[in-house]
Amino acid sequence: MNTELTMLVYSVILTFLVISVPAMAGILQNGLATQAGNRDGLPEATVFAQRARRLQDNMVENMVLFVPLVLAAQAAGVSDAQTAMGAQLFFYARVVHAGIYLVGIPWLRTLAWAAALVGMLMIAGALV
């Protein structure tokens, strides 16, 4: 498996972990029985849980762009240093982004997001 597909798999695993954070925050705040129920009338989520939910949404939004780029490159037989570096940049920047987002550091979060965007643009650039 090439670097791009490896980074795609790692990114899917990261997405699963990111999705798990707000779920765990909800369990910690409300208890397992409440979270396993229909969740009507829950109290307002903690600041951390709200932030984790925004991180989850952001990760999913970025995966919607990253996944087709990697798959298009694979389908087109485009795999070179640029696409490999782009995929690596995306993954590692998203790891950093997740940590920064959860801690709540706004400008660094934006820089990490921008680095991941550059990674996607590198893959897209190799396709056009």
- The pLDDT tens digits for 6-24 are 999 999 999 999 999 999 9
Higher confidence at residue 103 or residue 38? 103
pLDDT bracket for residue 35 (50, 70, 90)? confident
* Helix/strand/coil for 1: coil
DSSP 8-state class, residue 40? T
d(CA 102, CA 95): 11
d(CA 89, CA 7): 9
d(CA 91, CA 46): 28
Pick left, alpha or beta for residue 31 (phi over 0 → left; psi -120 to 50 → alpha; otherwise beta). Answer: left
Q: Give pLDDT tens digits for 41-77.
A: 888 889 999 999 999 999 999 999 999 999 999 999 9
d(CA 35, CA 93): 31
Query: Does CATH place domain 3-127 in 3.40.50.720?
Result: no
Q: What is the pTM of this model?
A: 0.91
